[in-house]
A = this chain, B = another copy of it.
Amino acid sequence: MMAVHLQRPLAAMCCLFLYCLIGVLSSPDPRLREALIELEASMQTGGQMVLTDAEQRLDALLLKLKQEEMSREDFPPAMHFFRAKHLIQTSPIFRLLQKMPKGGALHVHDVSMVDVEWLVKNVTYRPHCYMCSTDNMSVRFIFSSQSPKPLARCSPWVLLENLRAKIVNTTDLDNSIRGNLSLFTDRDPEAVYPSQDVVWDRFEQAFQAVWGLVTYAPVFRDYFYQGLTQFYTDNVMYLELRAMLPEVYELDGSTHNKAWTMKTYQDITKQFVSTHPDFFGARIIFTHQRRANISAVAEAVKEAMQLKKDFPDFLAGFDLVGREDRGKPLWYFRDALSLPAKKGVQLPYFFHAGETDLEGTEVDQNLLDALLLNTSRIGHGFALLRHPVAKDLSRKRGVAVEVCPISNQVLKLVNDLRNHPAAALMLENHPLVISSDDPAMFGASGLSYDFYEAFVGFGGIKSHIGSLKELAMNSIRYSSLSREQQKEALLLWQRRWNTFVTENEFLKIN
């Protein structure tokens, strides 16, 4: 990969020379044009990747498929994902992307890893599962050995076992539960979610609905294992999970502390890796609500410092989460967030920043502040194009943007994904990775749907197998893994990639 960096000054010189020629020549020269087109193509993500013969053959297939895809009447990246999902599922590019080793998923939240179907069919059918209906049209769950205490603004608890025994057809009940656990809908998404306020409210309600299910210790373990399985099945080999590290509870109401939760995550990861040797592992980014007050955030930072000490190789770092537009800006927490540096403790940050369209407001300073606070990556960075200094800093310092296309669309930052700012970032090879944020909440899974949107929607005809390769490699290069671990992970990925490329070449010939 060093070649890419060495070639940059050369490209710049070449560029200058070509520009001068334009002024000199009286009519447009086809060779000059070709050179400029090539120069532009070489600037994009993966644009300087040297491709093997097998990769070139696969690329020819991909180009053909992409051209067919772009001539479709209904172009999926231009549509809301809820409408586009079934189209994407039938796309041969999508099926190819599912098989592709995509490297790591660096921006995924703890309780939205596993598809909702699994929660409904597996978790809510377990014994001791109680449900109540809130007065704002959501539901809450709790597992309990005895009848749980009533919850404010919620109907009396009903044991689901009993409820299901009483009704003949449980399909309606299951559908209703499913509808409460994610944002996905078959109805017109624009009508159901007319504004950011509405969609964020339902989003937060759905999280609270899922919360009672997944923080029950036995489910907590199974959920994470199932999450790893689903990402693994989608050919993701590594995960950095943003986790709230909640108080996980037992049937008798007793709860566990954060260290227990971390330990559980670590144990299950080890267990998973031992049976799936081509899965590289997982790490935790401890997250705290950004709506909290300063002392709560300071407390969380201290806990994070302790956890970093106790799980030095498993805790990646710290982040603040929740709706950026409604939370406090990072600068508000600057003292709390400066604690580790002041104490000489290494606590990497992975701040959400720029997940907003409120240009020029206090919250809109988060991008620059995340960089000032030495963030290792930027979560979303949707507003980055509107911050040329932050953009320049992110590029120069190799602070990658975690781009989550479907999330940004569902949460109403952009409609047509061809207008997503990452399209421009990819065409300049800005440091970035593709991730899925909360795939289960959006009716997606793993990384493939988001890779599809990025590859077809951001890249248009221009992005190619080299772009995909660089995106996958970026997910290792910009991970929190050490240099040594990255080397190891890249080797593992390269092996899987080679198989993928030759297998697909085989598919093409047949």
Binding site for B on A (CB under 8 A): 15, 19, 22, 26-28, 32-33, 36-37, 39-40, 43, 70, 73, 78, 190, 195, 331, 334, 338, 341-342, 357-361, 364-365, 368-369, 371-374, 385-390, 392-393, 396-397, 413-416, 418-419, 421, 423-424, 427-428, 459-462
A contact face: mostly helix, strand, loop, or mixed: helix
Docked-complex contact B461 and A360, CB < 8 angstroms:
yes
In the assembled complex, 19 residue pairs joining A and B whose CB atoms fall closer than 8 Å, in A order, are A22-B372, A22-B397, A27-B338, A27-B341, A28-B369, A33-B331, A33-B368, A36-B389, A43-B389, A78-B357, A190-B190, A358-B460, A359-B418, A359-B460, A360-B460, A360-B461, A364-B460, A364-B461, A386-B460
Closest chain B CB from A207 CB (angstroms)? 24
Name the B residues within 8 Å of A371 (CB-CB).
22
**Complex-state Cα separation, A100 to B32, whole angstroms:** 44
Docked-complex contact B423 and A419, CB < 8 angstroms:
no
Docked-complex contact A19 and B396, CB < 8 angstroms:
yes
Task: Give the 10 A-B CB pairs with smallest separation, nearest first.
Answer: A359-B460, A360-B461, A385-B424, A360-B462, A27-B338, A360-B460, A28-B372, A40-B389, A415-B415, A26-B341
Docked-complex contact A421 and B418, CB < 8 angstroms:
no
If A359-B418, A360-B462, A364-B461 are given as contacts, then 10 extra A-B residue pairs at C-beta distance below 8 Å, sorted by A number, are A26-B338, A27-B334, A28-B372, A28-B373, A39-B389, A43-B388, A359-B459, A386-B424, A386-B462, A424-B424
**Complex-state Cα separation, A418 to B22, whole angstroms:** 34
**Complex-state Cα separation, A360 to B368, whole angstroms:** 32
Nearest B-chain residue to A342, judged by Cβ: B27
Closest chain B CB from A353 CB (angstroms)? 14
Docked-complex contact B372 and A461, CB < 8 angstroms:
no
Name the B residues within 8 Å of A15 (CB-CB).
389, 392
**Complex-state Cα separation, A373 to B29, whole angstroms:** 10
Q: Pick the contact of A36 from B78, B372, B428 — CB < 8 Å?
A: B372
Closest chain B CB from A375 CB (angstroms)? 11
**Complex-state Cα separation, A393 to B331, whole angstroms:** 37
> Contacts A32-B372, A372-B28, A415-B416: A390 and B40 contacting too (C-beta < 8 A)?
yes
Name the B residues within 8 Å of A419 (CB-CB).
357, 413-414, 419, 421
**Complex-state Cα separation, A269 to B396, whole angstroms:** 52
> Contacts A368-B36, A415-B416, A460-B386: A28 and B338 contacting too (C-beta < 8 A)?
yes
**Complex-state Cα separation, A206 to B365, whole angstroms:** 45
Name the B residues within 8 Å of A423 (CB-CB).
359, 385-386
Nearest B-chain residue to A339, judged by Cβ: B27
Name the B residues within 8 Å of A195 (CB-CB).
73
Closest chain B CB from A173 CB (angstroms)? 35
Closest chain B CB from A366 CB (angstroms)? 12
Nearest B-chain residue to A195, judged by Cβ: B73
**Complex-state Cα separation, A427 to B391, whole angstroms:** 12
Name the B residues within 8 Å of A389 (CB-CB).
15, 36, 39-40, 43
Nearest B-chain residue to A26, judged by Cβ: B341
Docked-complex contact B387 and A357, CB < 8 angstroms:
no
> Contacts A357-B418, A388-B40, A389-B39: A33 and B369 contacting too (C-beta < 8 A)?
yes
Closest chain B CB from A171 CB (angstroms)? 33
Nearest B-chain residue to A362, judged by Cβ: B461
Closest chain B CB from A211 CB (angstroms)? 30
Closest chain B CB from A132 CB (angstroms)? 32
Name the B residues within 8 Å of A393 (CB-CB).
19, 22
